[in-house]
Amino acid sequence: MNKNIKILIIKMSAIGDVIHTLPALNAIRSHFPKAHITWLVEEAAFDIILGHRGLDRVLLSKRKKWVKQLFSLSFFQGAKKIYRFIKELRKTNYDIIIDFQGLFKSAIMLALARGEKKIGFDKGMEHAEYSHIFYNYRIPAVSMEIHALKRGLILLESLGIFCKKIEYNLAIGGKNRINLEKLLKSKGLEQDRMIICINPEATWETKLWSNKKFGELADRLFEKFNANIIYTGSKSDIKSILEIISFMENPCINLAGLTTLKTLAALYEKTDVLITTDTGPMHLGVASATKVLGIFGSTSSLRTGPYGENHKVVKADILCSPCFKKRCHTKECMEMISVDHVMGTVDKLMMG
């Protein structure tokens, strides 16, 4: 059966969630070395898994674009693309379908797919959106205080698949490393200095630390460690990062909007320490085997912090944190975190 077994993994988004599922993919591949494994993913995290050695095929869902077209003048075009995607999804009859997402959108994909065993957590999981009704093989719910990466492995353990070692095996590739070197050279990277990356942005305002504090932190890191300070982020982060840089007195490199996920992973491979808010690049840093310092406020480091022993978390000791709110009129949990606190944690990482 191992020679012909077909497996579908459903983990559509977000970047960090997809990265958390890579160890599960590697465990499945180790258990079923000759199986045909497909992963269904959305656009934001597509680049992470493309070319991964554990996969035979990637199914790309452009759900957000298609839904947008349905409510526009491009209705028929959107409907046609959705039909083609569903047809492709249903072309294969899978032996095992595992919904690692546990949301309504992923459960719908699981329901549309053809498969013998459709697996996910039973009712009782926080934010599960009734996904359990679509499964014919339900795993007892577990505490959300278990790290997201570990929760994915618990699904596999119910099938007798065990992860012996946490591995990500990012498919970065030589081309992306070459492109990174060219980019860093064009930005004046000094080869004889260590690299400290700062990824200061996030989608929730309650995850954001003060721009002025980030600027002060960067100056102190530059002066203490004689380091190349590199900012990373998306195109939408450029304005905020430029404001951070305006608070600095020392030179830095701004790569916001200039990297793909894979060139970013290649950069983090070379990085001595990554300092970041709770966002996808934090987990990309972990998967790239660099030391990560995560700054946490409204979210829980127990659930989604940097996974592993070589990382640190900075958070304020405040009763209302974590609240998991996207907005807050005080953001006290982040405001209470001082530059000294972050610097002291960087020192501990350097010594580790």
pLDDT in tens, 155-205: 999 899 999 999 999 999 999 999 999 999 999 999 999 999 999 999 999
Confidence of residue 332 (pLDDT cuts 50, 70, 90): very high
Domains, in order of start, for the chain = 6-157 (3.40.50.2000), 179-351 (3.40.50.2000)
Q: Are 257 and 237 in contact (CB under 8 A)?
A: yes
Please name the residue that has the structure tokens 């890191």. Answer: 221
Confidence of residue 348 (pLDDT cuts 50, 70, 90): very high
Mean pLDDT of 203-208: 96
Distance CA 5, CA 143 (A): 31
Distance CA 164, CA 313 (A): 25
Torsion of CA 12, 132, 109, 37, to 10 degrees: 70
Confidence of residue 4 (pLDDT cuts 50, 70, 90): confident
Distance CA 282, CA 306 (A): 7
Confidence of residue 319 (pLDDT cuts 50, 70, 90): very high
Which letter does DSSP use for residue 193 in this model? S
pLDDT digits (tens, 9 = 90+) for 83-133: 999 999 999 999 999 999 999 999 999 999 999 999 999 999 988 889 999
- Cis amide linkage into residue 322, ω under 30° from 0: yes
User: Within 13 Å, how many C-alpha atoms sit on residue 285's CB side?
Assistant: 29
Residue 352 clears pLDDT 80, i.e. is over it: no
Handedness of CA 58, 156, 63, 207 (dihedral sign): negative
Distance CA 211, CA 201 (A): 9
pLDDT digits (tens, 9 = 90+) for 297-310: 999 999 999 999 99
Q: From residue 186, how far is each of 174, 180, 190, 271 by CA, in Å? A: 19, 10, 11, 18
Residue 2 clears pLDDT 70, i.e. is over it: no
Confidence of residue 5 (pLDDT cuts 50, 70, 90): very high
Closest CA to 97 of 37, 52, 14, 154: 37
Give the type of residue at 150.
K
Q: Identify the pLDDT of residue 3.
A: 67
Q: Identify the pLDDT of residue 12.
A: 97
Mean pLDDT of 201-215: 97
In this structure, what token pair is assigned to residue 20? Answer: 């958390």
In this structure, what token pair is assigned to residue 144? Answer: 């959300």
pLDDT, averaged across the chain: 96
Strand order in the sheet with 57-61: 57-61, 36-42, 6-10, 93-99, 114-121, 137-139
| Model confidence pTM above 0.85 | yes
Residue 1 clears pLDDT 80, i.e. is over it: no
Distance CA 283, CA 138 (A): 28
